[in-house]
Structure 1
């Protein structure tokens, strides 16, 4: 202790009971008080124990220049009693205490030889008047000086050794309280940092979870701002992108001049978000904190922008928030790169799907353009057709149907299927449909039409085959001729409700066998009958056996046997039990039954002129049985003679004579079939000619006559009215 100026020593050198009780009470209070309250208690206790008029606790801190001493607590005097401009520690009176060299006790600063050289006694100008002075350093157990306790009195000789001991005891408690407060503050700061770190980690985890499930850029721009405003307490948050979203929508955009701003000086850009994007560094301005979003190559993607309330704006959020937003921005940028790949992949898929759809629509349009736009209205047959493409794939199949009507009441029903699924198959289907229609229109029977169509397909070298079924029906008589080329046989639904397969001789698919021959099944439908012609897609699938599909078709036909033709067709298509892996076509014909009785007789003729006599005798017997006589009989006999003579004379092959009578319609038809495709020609015979008048005679006697293809040859027919 440095005792100066004759301080009083009559008080003794130890602390009395009162002082000890005061110190004990102070120590008890310090355990329950915060630092501010503790230092006030220490300062107040020091004033009481030392008998000072005032006391002050000075905290030893440093400013940016390394010199600062703050008055932390005052007792006995107002704060204005100490000057702010001149640090107390720079005076000689106080220097020893603040350096930690020990306590200073001065009986009278005005008479002290070292401090009494001026009127103020060595204290700064403006300082509270002081004569007696006592100062003790506040030193931590580690020896670190954290401040000083200063006590003063306007009268000299007020502090003795006992006062100094009391002041030192109080300083020790002050050091303990300050150190505990420092440690507690450090603990609080560590806890706050840990909590802030936990909050940051929680937010980052939340953002990571949000971003991990985001599959589009639009989801990122919606989810991240909502999470940030909830977690950070900012008023607004935006993910601003330089590029528009893939669907054409825009996020809250950067200013329109953002791209142009990159070329300008960043300082010239006023918008914080744009400046952050242009410079690649965070921008804090007023209420806005903007953090750039960049990809792995540091190319700008956009900005993560937050807006804060309060006078401090974004600056009040603290550096931790800036660091946190930088971490979030890194995650968002990575997610944006990923979702942009997703967006690009999605756009590619959508474009591919659109292309497939367009191609499918084009293919379907092509296919449907090759099918009949409308079907003929038949006198005694109702027709319903259905076509359903496969459920998947852009390619189309070659299924087709057709209805061909002839002038003589014949109607031919066609259903077919070209192998494979492609526009090639669809185009080939159109060619085959045209070929079948041409041969049927020429008058060929179903077997011959199939044989010739097969030859056409072989000649095309298309490397595809086709199946087909032809059903040729005479609406008047109910005669039905059927032929198939590797195609499912029709089903018949008769008046009594039975459903049965129509047995037809199987022929090879079209385009497989050179010179393929086909057989015809001839039936007579004497009552109302429904025929069901279909392609294999109706009854077959890779996952279901054929029998299951056929059974489903039968069941649907029976369940709706009393419905209309269209209702029956709809029920059959709806009853298909499997997912369509192939196109499915269905043709339902509802025949009302024969309109009139028809009688037909047929005989074979030899390849010589004796056939003429055989034909005349055959005709006479038939006409006699039918009760036809008179002029009709004579005309019929002459026509028969001429037609048979032409056939055996010009072909040299066997021929066939058929006689058909429809008594209700009142006509008789004579038909001669030979093996030549050469049509007979009328010739002008001179007056003396012995021949050449055959067709002229037929033309005069017959009501009508004509030539039609028949198998590999032709049929020449003539029709007479029965009187």
Structure 2
């Protein structure tokens, strides 16, 4: 299937995801409907605090104004927050005049001013993302959970075991790596995709959310050979600056153990043969990263998992660093696999901990085992 033919299906998947996001947003408690009222109350409170700082500084220290700002950041939107910021600025200027209070030192004025500006910028940034007030955090949690749900491994027949693990850079709430899995109508074919979106942190996490929903709609809805071209077409339609992704797509026939693995600029999988103890690097002809070439070609590498075998998919965060090239990283990963997986001393979490790759990049790992 060529890329242009798959774009309508990809667009439908994107619209489905957008509807889910709107639904998640609609479930957010609507407690911030009275912005003018809340803004007026907080401005009045800031006036009272300013009066208290000037009149009774022993009981109302200047730091009290920070509590007003903290409450405003939680409940106000941009316009109301800007009004409050102007009011606080005027109040600081007035009570900072000589003779009002000895407690309001130049350093205190600077701290209050910086806190006010920082609060305004934070609310502005949050609103640019379409997030409003404290309940927006609940929506972010919901969307993050949706990424995890897309990667949930479906129920497998006896004799199969799959572990997936994703760790974000520096412990961020969102990761640029994600997993999508599907088993259409509990059929004999299991499909797993491990994706590494360019960048890291929240920006990559937002892209991961969009792509995981779209890829989840595509996976299992078309022949395995058509998935990566469709995913590439969808990514091109987003017109992101430097918005590319690497991916590895695995299809496993659960009755026979046959598998097909296809790469889009992604590191090669590892196949541990239990009978011989040999660890094979499953290299394919590969294809370009997703979101760059209009009509790429992807060729699958065929193999078979015997009883006791393990297939390992991973992202470059496990094997690549500024001080180590990819091949040396793969060699190090293979040595760790032989120590833990071959001997049966650990699983995905143990493997990730033993590699100790640091927090500088997102890391994704999938173990497919035929017991």
Structure 1 stretches lacking a partner, 5+ long: 1-238, 250-293, 303-335, 593-723
Kept in 1, the 8 Å contact 2:167–2:362? The answer is yes
- Structure 1 500/368 Cα, relative in aligned 2: closer, same or farther at 3 Å? farther
Could you say which residue in structure 1 is the equivalent of 2:83? Answer: none
How far apart are residue 584 of structure 1 and its match?
Answer: 1.4
CA contact (8 A) 1:389 1:583 kept: yes
C-alpha deviations, 1:428-465, integer Å up to 9, x for none?
434433444444423412x3211122122223333412
Contact 1:490 1:531 in 2 (8 A): yes
CA offsets per residue over residues 670-717 of structure 1, 9 Å max, x none?
xxxxxxxxxxxxxxxxxxxxxxxxxxxxxxxxxxxxxxxxxxxxxxxx
Given candidates 227, 238, 261, the residue that maps to 1:449 is 227
Counterpart in 2 of 1:377? 155
Match of 2:105 in 1: 337
Name 2:326's counterpart in structure 1.
546
Q: Does 1:366 align with 2:143?
A: yes
The answer to whether the Cα contact below 8 Å between 1:507 and 1:519 also exists between their aligned partners in 2 is: yes
Alignment partner, residue 282 of structure 2: 502
Distance 1:387 1:365, change over 3 A: farther
SS at 2:102 equivalent = strand
Q: 1:559 offset after TM fit, Å? A: 2.2
1:404 pairs with 172, 182, 186, which one?
182
Distance 2:327 2:369 in 1: 25
Specify the structure having the higher radius of gyration (Cα): 1
- 1: CA distance, partners of 2:58 / 2:111: 15
Residue 301 (structure 2) aligns with: 521
Q: CA deviation at 1:415?
A: 0.4
Q: Deviations over 1:165-197 (max 9, x none)?
A: xxxxxxxxxxxxxxxxxxxxxxxxxxxxxxxxx
- For residues 538 and 242 of structure 1, the distance between their equivalents in structure 2, rounded to whole angstroms, comes to 55
Paired residue secondary structure (1:426): helix
Residue 300 of structure 1 is matched in structure 2 by 101
Secondary structure of 2:199's counterpart equals strand
Please give the alpha-carbon distance, in whole angstroms, between the structure 1 residues aligned to 2:358 and 2:250. Answer: 29
Aligned to 2:195: 416
Corresponding residue of 1:241: 58
Tell me how far apart the structure 2 counterparts of residues 465 and 413 of structure 1 sit (CA, whole Å).
Answer: 19
Query: Which has a greater percent of helix?
Result: 2
Q: How does 1:163-562 map to 2 (within 5 A)?
A: 241=58, 243-244=60-61, 246=63, 297-301=98-102, 337-341=105-109, 344=112, 366-372=143-149, 374-379=152-157, 380-391=159-170, 396-406=174-184, 407-421=186-200, 425-445=204-224, 447-463=225-241, 464-495=243-274, 496-561=276-341
TM-score with structure 2 setting the length? 0.61
Number of aligned pairs?
274
CA drift of 1:525 comes to 2.3
Deviation at 1:530, TM superposition (A): 1.0
Distance 1:530 1:363 in 2: 35
Q: Alpha-carbon deviation of 1:505?
A: 1.6
Aligned 8 A contact 1:360 1:395 in 2:
no
Aligned pair 1:574/2:353, yes or no?
yes
CA distance, structure 1, for counterparts of residue 339 and residue 100 of structure 2 = 70
The change in CA–CA distance for 1:434 and 1:346 in structure 2 (over 3 A counts) is closer
Q: CA deviation at 1:569?
A: 0.7
Q: Retained in 2: the 8 A contact 1:363–1:423?
A: no
| TM-score, structure 1 normalization | 0.33
- Structure 1 residues 342 and 498, CA, compared in 2 at 3 Å: closer, same or farther? farther
SS in 2 for 1:506: coil
Mark the CA change 1:385 to 1:244 in structure 2 (over 3 Å): closer, same or farther.
same
C-alpha separation in 1, matches of 2:252 and 2:164: 17
Matches within 5 A, 1:95-110: none
Q: In 1, distance between residues paired with 2:299 and 2:99? A: 79
What is the deviation of 1:240? Answer: 6.6
CA distance in 1, matches of 2:250, 2:155: 17
Displacement after TM superposition at 1:244 (Å): 2.2
Write the mapping of 1:141-180 to structure 2, written as runs, cut at 5 A. Answer: none
SS in 2 for 1:533: strand
- What is the CA distance between 1:489 and its match in structure 2? 1.2
2: distance between equivalents of 1:555 and 1:360?
42
Q: Which has the higher strand share?
A: 1
The superposition leaves residues 271-316 of structure 1 with CA deviations (integer Å, 9 ceiling, x where unpaired) of: xxxxxxxxxxxxxxxxxxxxxxx978233225xxxxxxxxxxxxxx
Aligned 8 A contact 1:556 1:571 in 2: no
Question: Does the 8 Å contact 1:549/1:577 carry over to 2?
Answer: no
Could you say what secondary structure the match of 2:347 adopts?
Answer: helix
